[in-house]
Structure formats: structure tokens, C-alpha cells
């Protein structure tokens, strides 16, 4: 009986440690999205409508995906919300959730353990996901629609 209790407490302790480390990595990543990325000369970045209040689109399920690493592969789970401006963009984003999920999952599945553990790894991944979603929405709706992809939860085991 004592051995079962030890295993249960060890499992609970491991989950708590993983959540603490994941939260620390998420919070310490910084928020560099306020600084516009450098662009090649002659290219134009699609402009997101910044008029209107910020609205948030919940994606129904967190993304669970495999992350390859040099020593061993891991599993990651990221919860995401989309920040849009105005009711029109909110409706367009809600109507295109499958397309948005597909773009985000493609971006996430290309990440490696080493990239996610880097100091700015989550910020870089978030920026890549934002660009992928904006590019897809530009093709479908004629405008980027989504201002930012936001990570609201991150766990990697």
C-alpha cells in the first residue's frame, strides 16, 4: 500500500513540476510582438484593421502535437486565442476556425524541442503562427483579419 501512495505522490509531484516549468517558460518568453519585424525592401506587410475594440476568439481545443528533439521527442500542448479588431473580423475568424487551426497546427508541428526551450522560442513560434494565419486569411477574406495569435497555456512533457 505504501508503494502505491509513493507512486501516486511522485506522479502528482511530476505534474506540478511540469506545469511550473511550462508556466515559467511561457511567462519568461517576453512579448516582442509589439516591435514590428524587419521587412525586405519593396515588400508590403498586410495591414490588420486596428479600428474597434480588441475581441478574442477562443479556439475550441488546445493543440496537442509531437515535438522532435535531438535527444528525445516530446509532446506539447498549447492553448490558443486569436485577437481581432471589430465585429466584422470576429465573424470572419469564427467562420474560418478550421482553416486557422490547420495553419496553426502546421506551424506548431515544425517546431523542435530546442527551439521551444530557447529564451525567445515561444515568442518566435507565436509570431510564425500569427504570420501563417494572416497569410491564409488574406487569401480567403482579402485581409489579414487576425491581429495576433495568443498563447494562453503551454505544457511540454
**Per-residue pLDDT tens over the stretch 118-139:** 889 899 999 999 999 999 999 9
Q: Is residue 91 part of a domain?
A: yes
112: phi then psi, degrees, rounded to nearest 5: -115, 165
Q: Is pLDDT above 50 for 36?
A: no
Q: Is pLDDT above 90 for 25?
A: no
* Three-state DSSP state, 82: strand
CATH number of the domain that 129 lies in?
3.30.479.30
Q: What is the number of domains present in the chain?
A: 1
Q: Say which residue the cell 502505491 belongs to.
A: 4
Q: Which of 8-17, 59-68, 116-125 has the lowest mean pLDDT?
A: 8-17
Q: Is pLDDT above 50 for 41?
A: no
Q: Is residue 38 part of a domain?
A: no
- Tell me the residue range of the domain where 92 lies: 2-30+47-156
Q: Which of 16-20, 52-56, 92-96, 115-119 has the lowest mean pLDDT?
A: 16-20
Q: Is residue 84 part of a domain?
A: yes
Q: Is pLDDT above 90 for 142?
A: yes
Looking at residue 141, its pLDDT comes to 93
User: What's the grid cell of residue 153?
Assistant: 497555456
Q: Is residue 15 part of a domain?
A: yes
User: How many C-beta atoms lie closer than 10 Å to residue 2's C-beta?
Assistant: 6
Q: Is residue 52 part of a domain?
A: yes
Looking at residue 26, its pLDDT comes to 54
Of 9 and 25, more confident: 9
Looking at residue 1, its pLDDT comes to 60
Looking at residue 6, its pLDDT comes to 65
Cα-Cα-Cα-Cα dihedral sign, residues 111, 25, 62, 16: positive
Q: Is residue 40 part of a domain?
A: no
Q: Is residue 41 part of a domain?
A: no
Q: Is residue 39 part of a domain?
A: no
Looking at residue 106, its pLDDT comes to 92
Choose among 8, 1, 154: nearest CA to 81.
Answer: 154
Looking at residue 97, its pLDDT comes to 94
pLDDT class of 31 with cuts at 50, 70, 90: very low
The answer to whether 115 touches 107, Cβ cutoff 8 Å, is no
Which of 67-71, 82-86, 107-111 holds the top average pLDDT?
82-86
The answer to whether 78 touches 102, Cβ cutoff 8 Å, is no
> What Rg do the C-alpha atoms of the chain give, in angstroms?
18
The answer to whether 93 touches 100, Cβ cutoff 8 Å, is yes
Q: Is pLDDT above 60 for 151?
A: yes
Amino acid at each position: 500500500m505504501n508503494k502505491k501512495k509513493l507512486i501516486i505522490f511522485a506522479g502528482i509531484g511530476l505534474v506540478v513540476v511540469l506545469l511550473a516549468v511550462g508556466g515559467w517558460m511561457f511567462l519568461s518568453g517576453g512579448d516582442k510582438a509589439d516591435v514590428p519585424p524587419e521587412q525586405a525592401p519593396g515588400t508590403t506587410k498586410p495591414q490588420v484593421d486596428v479600428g474597434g475594440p480588441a475581441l478574442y476568439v477562443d479556439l475550441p481545443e488546445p493543440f496537442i502535437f509531437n515535438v522532435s528533439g535531438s535527444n528525445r521527442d516530446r509532446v506539447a500542448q498549447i492553448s490558443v486565442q486569436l485577437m481581432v479588431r471589430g465585429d466584422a473580423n470576429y465573424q470572419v475568424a469564427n467562420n474560418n476556425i478550421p482553416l486557422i487551426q490547420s495553419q496553426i497546427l502546421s506551424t506548431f508541428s515544425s517546431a523542435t524541442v530546442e527551439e521551444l526551450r530557447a529564451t525567445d522560442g515561444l515568442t518566435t513560434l507565436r509570431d510564425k503562427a500569427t504570420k501563417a494565419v494572416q497569410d491564409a486569411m488574406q487569401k480567403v477574406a482579402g485581409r489579414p483579419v487576425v491581429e495576433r495569435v495568443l498563447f494562453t497555456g503551454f505544457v511540454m512533457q
